[in-house]
Amino acid sequence: MNTVVNLFNNKQVKEFDALIIGGGGSGMRTSLELARSGLKTAVISKVFPTRSHTVSAQGGITCAIQSADPNDDWRWHMYDTVKGSDYIGDQDAIEYMCSEGPKAVYELEHMGLPFSRFDNGRIYQRPFGGQSKDFGKGGQAARTCAAADRTGHALLHTLYQNNVKEGTNFLNEWFAVDLVKNSKEEITGVIAFSIESGEVCYFKAQATVLATGGAGRIYASTTNALINTGDGLGMTLRSGFPAQDMEMWQFHPTGIYGAGSLVTEGCRGEGGYLINADGERFMERYAPNAKDLAGRDVVARSMVLEILEGRGCGEEKDHVFLKLDHLGADVLNSKLPGICELSRTFAHVDPVKEPIPVVPTCHYMMGGTPTNIHGQAFSQKNGEDFTVPGLFSVGEAACVSVHGANRLGGNSLLDLVVFGRAAGKHINEAIKSGGGVDNSTSEDIDEAMQRLNKLNESQDGFDVARIKKELQTCMQNYFGVFRRGEFMEKGVKELEEIKFKVDNLHLKDKSVSFNTSRVEALELQNLFEVAQATAISALKRTESRGAHARDDFPDRDDENWLCHSLYDPTKKDISKRKVNYEPKQVKAFPPKMRSY
Amino acid sequence: MELNVSLYRYNPEKDEFPYMKKYTITKPEKDIMVLDLLNLLKEEDTSISYRRSCREGVCGSDGMNINGKNGLACITPLSDVLRGNKLELRPLPGLPVIRDLIVDMTQFYNQYEKIKPFLQSDSEPPVQERLQSPQDRDKLDGLYECILCACCSTSCPSFWWNPDKFVGPAALLQAYRFLADSRDTKKQERLEELGDPFSVYRCHGIMNCVNVCPKGLNPNKAIGEIKSMLLTGTKEEKIKVVGLE
């Protein structure tokens, strides 16, 4: 006990120009840019970088590199992304992502990413959901660049390898606890501790980049890794900064029934399709044109409707099947080898012979810390945006927003590299031109230590594993694929009760060295912040748009809700923020009826 | 049925020596993975520590020794490994133990960094991607998929013996991944760095690595390829030298 107190009170200061929290795709793309710039940079990651969740991405990275189709156009990709977002994606950011995308993808190839290839030697591209040619008029496009069905793995390892090459400073298995904020509301760094040794440090930096990924673990059933606990958002929300579009959670149509593991949309891109208990290809009814390659929100809702109407498969009639066997063993083994492996392991099904049981599963957080295309985090005062000095966010943790109310498949990996790169470039220029933040006082630093101290001193209280289950069950029951006001109100109330428990967790094991129960307790508190932001934002948005589907407000309401929701953690309420309709190189795409 | 789980425990703050602790747990009706079982045990005894992340066999966090064989806890079903009703879980062998099932992987990562695990090319990259034929790309299959879980290297007696000098199967697999890449132009330099008596040649082909790889990869074959490249590489060198004289 004494050693604990001593170690945790004896905090050192380590100073860097830029600090990146998170060693996944977005964090390592940012760090790569900064390592090359010569700035003193460190990546703090709670896991060894290649254990980050980017590794689980399968199908690919969507980008108009004109390989499958020499006439492909990034503007078509932009159109698809805007439409996919159900018109609340920011068009300046979407334009930037789609137009800069090819450069970012070619860079990955130059770094060594082992993309699959066409016969002419160019990068292989496959069709994915929501993709079209000629602004929706030219039929299905094939725009997703792939390394078999292990694109995330290949991308993450390539980025790690190139960070090794550039000598990036990694602090692996360090856990960031809270942001340090000074009296001018500037972020001056974080408090973090070494999971291995327990050493606590104040990491001081001119730029703190949150690249902490998603928080799918707020739900009981998710494709997300166990480490996806929204640590960055937990930190910003506790510091009083807002989160945007938190009601927008993507449920991926094809999570393996029972296990939750992801089955890539690339399966349907390669020609697989969904069937119900009658063996019917039901997506033909819901999306006559795009069928199984409609937007993910559309496919997930159609699946749930099939199940609710009694056409689900299995004894409990609670899932549907993904049929792949007609593609043949050759295609499955060359294009989807990872899926075959996962399916055999977790569904005990060989896709070469039998269909895979699947169910919509929480997959992606479209919301996050609001940022501009440079990764600078925003807050609001009296309805006006202002950037928070010192604070940046990239990747799934951020909300630029390129995904709006529904992300298209293959756009998350593109988001990571495009905006990781952009943030790195911006930070480099800003710091070299003298931009930076003031110091924090020792009171400011102590403030950021409070959560950790309270946990370390806990003598009694609530059990982490049990409360985590309560939280996940609440979110799963009341904030799933279909939502209704009265249920969500119940959910919001339940969360208020859970709040007390989450604030009073009992850390039974106080040991210092690699005590994973300490990490899990801190993660649960982060999950809670994200869950509450989600619940309140979902209850307040009284319409259906993209992934947010309410049966008490079944229609999209552009008059009142063609806007972002901005959740203010200090008021536990949302306000509306304008969506950007001002792209620079093309005319804005106005809202239209969205059908596939 | 009751399961008897014997778990390697060591907390450096409390324990002078590691010990095996017995846990009894009702066997779940469903066939669960070893990681699920560990999670159940941790709910009861929060002091148990192990690494885990993706829980689907792609991140490589939870390599451990399961009833005597290295594997990933998250994709190893109990039905595959139970002996009667007994399960013994130990950390990966040969690396220093930090706590319980968590090993210090520094030596493993050092070997990985040593082989320069990144593409090196003398030519300026084109505006678009470098071209690579599907046939050349196929040569990377079975190599790039490594997840760095260390199951192979820590099942290798040569790596136990010389973890600082023998590169080990995992990093050698990656060394060959870059040697086999048509886009990499540093083959000669890469080979030169592997030519000493330890880096590659401490592999005696006992194939423990192949036996345990949870991704079904074959480091032994890659090592064989490196050895033959070293051989032909040396021959070319000699011919060149003779030719000059």
One DSSP character per residue, B106-168 reads HHHHHHHHHT--S---SSPP-SSPPP--HHHHHTTTTTTT-----TTGGG-HHHHH-TTTS--
Query: CB B46 to CB A508 under 8 A?
Result: yes
Chain A residue numbers touching B127 (CB-CB < 8 A)? 106
Query: CB B11 to CB A513 under 8 A?
Result: yes
Rounded-to-integer distance, Cα A582 and Cα A125, Å: 30
Chain B interface, best mutation among A28, A117, A173, A342, by max B CB count within 10 A: A117
Chain B residue numbers touching A112 (CB-CB < 8 A)? 118-119, 178, 181, 183-184
State which residue of chain A sits closest to B147, comparing Cα positions. Answer: A50
Chain A residue numbers touching B47 (CB-CB < 8 A)? 508-509, 511, 515, 517
CA–CA min distance A346, chain B (Å): 8
3-state secondary structure A414-445: HHHHHHHHHHHHHHHHHHHCCCCCCCCCHHHH
Query: CB A513 to CB B13 under 8 A?
Result: yes
Mean pLDDT computed over B159-176:
98
Chain A residue numbers touching B14 (CB-CB < 8 A)? 511
State which residue of chain B sits closest to A508, comparing Cα positions. Answer: B46
The confidence score (pLDDT) of residue A9 equals 59
State which residue of chain B sits closest to A341, comparing Cα positions. Answer: B215
Query: CB B137 to CB A196 under 8 A?
Result: no
The confidence score (pLDDT) of residue B243 equals 43
Chain A residue numbers touching B38 (CB-CB < 8 A)? none
**Closest by CA position to B87, among listed B60, B64, B103, B104:** B64
The confidence score (pLDDT) of residue A8 equals 57
Query: CB B181 to CB A114 under 8 A?
Result: yes
Chain B residue numbers touching A116 (CB-CB < 8 A)? 134, 137
- A-B interface: how many C-beta pairs under 8 angstroms? 150
At A403-450, the pLDDT tens digits run 999 999 999 999 999 999 999 999 999 999 987 899 999 999 999 999
Residue with tokens 């259906």: A544
State which residue of chain A sits closest to B105, comparing Cα positions. Answer: A48
User: Token pair for residue B41?
Assistant: 């045990």
User: Token pair for residue A167?
Assistant: 């000598």
State which residue of chain B sits closest to A120, comparing Cα positions. Answer: B133
Query: CB B133 to CB A51 under 8 A?
Result: no
Q: Which of A105, A161, A517 sits opposite B118 (nearest CB)?
A: A161
Say if A184 is an interface residue toward chain B (CB within 8 Å). Answer: no
At B168-216, the pLDDT tens digits run 999 999 999 999 999 999 999 999 999 999 999 999 999 999 999 999 9
Rounded-to-integer distance, Cα A212 and Cα A210, Å: 6
CA–CA min distance A387, chain B (Å): 33
Residue A43 belongs to what H/E stretch? strand A41-45
Share of chain B above pLDDT 70, in %: 95
The confidence score (pLDDT) of residue A1 equals 38
Reduced to 3 states (helix: H, G, I; strand: E, B; else coil), residue A25 is helix
Kindly tell me if the per-residue pLDDT of B238 is higher than 50: no
Tell me phi and psi for residue A133, to 5 degrees.
-100, 155
Q: Are A413 and A57 in contact (CB under 8 A)?
A: yes
Chain B residue numbers touching A114 (CB-CB < 8 A)? 137, 140, 144, 181
Q: Are A458 and A507 in contact (CB under 8 A)?
A: yes
The confidence score (pLDDT) of residue A5 equals 45
With 0-12 / 13-18 / 19 or more C-beta atoms within 10 angstroms meaning exposed / middle / buried, residue A69 is middle
| C-alpha separations of A395 from A27, A414, A537, A583, B75 in Å | 8, 9, 21, 21, 28
State which residue of chain A sits closest to B141, comparing Cα positions. Answer: A114
Contacts of A58 (CB under 8 A, 6+ apart): A149, A150, A151, A152, A262, A264, A266, A338, A339
Helix-helix angle A464-478:A516-540, to 10 degrees: 20
3-state secondary structure A127-149: CCCCCECCCCCCCECCCEECCCC
**Closest by CA position to A567, among listed A528, A543, A541, A549:** A541
Partner B, chain A 426-485, Cβ-Cβ below 8 Å:
464-465
Say if B207 is an interface residue toward chain A (CB within 8 Å). Answer: no
Q: Are A491 and A480 in contact (CB under 8 A)?
A: no
Chain A residue numbers touching B13 (CB-CB < 8 A)? 3, 511-513
Q: What is the DSSP string of A491-546?
A: HHHHHHHHHHHHHTB-------TT-HHHHHHHHHHHHHHHHHHHHHHHHH--S-BT
Say if B140 is an interface residue toward chain A (CB within 8 Å). Answer: yes
Low-confidence ranges of chain A (pLDDT < 50): 1-6
Instruction: Assess: ipTM above 0.90.
Output: yes
CA–CA min distance A161, chain B (Å): 5
Say if B10 is an interface residue toward chain A (CB within 8 Å). Answer: no
User: Is residue A129 left, alpha or beta, with left meaning phi > 0 and alpha meaning psi from -120 to 50?
Assistant: beta
Partner A, chain B 63-122, Cβ-Cβ below 8 Å:
75, 77, 98-100, 102, 105, 109, 113, 116-119
Q: Are A143 and A410 in contact (CB under 8 A)?
A: yes
Q: Which of A51, A114, A161 sits opposite B59 (nearest CB)?
A: A51
Longest dimension (CA), chain B: 78
**Catalytic center residues of A:** 296
The confidence score (pLDDT) of residue B52 equals 98
At B29-53, the pLDDT tens digits run 889 999 999 999 999 999 999 999 9
Query: CB A55 to CB B99 under 8 A?
Result: no
Q: Are A544 and A555 in contact (CB under 8 A)?
A: yes
State which residue of chain B sits closest to A1, comparing Cα positions. Answer: B13
Partner B, chain A 320-379, Cβ-Cβ below 8 Å:
338, 341-342, 345-346
Say if A104 is an interface residue toward chain B (CB within 8 Å). Answer: no
CA–CA min distance A95, chain B (Å): 20
- Give the global pTM: 0.96
Say if A315 is an interface residue toward chain B (CB within 8 Å). Answer: no
State which residue of chain A sits closest to B178, comparing Cα positions. Answer: A112
Name the pairing type of β-strands A200-210 and A12-21: parallel
State the average pLDDT for chain B: 94
Rounded-to-integer distance, Cα A213 and Cα A53, Å: 8
**Closest by CA position to B55, among listed B78, B39, B79, B31:** B39
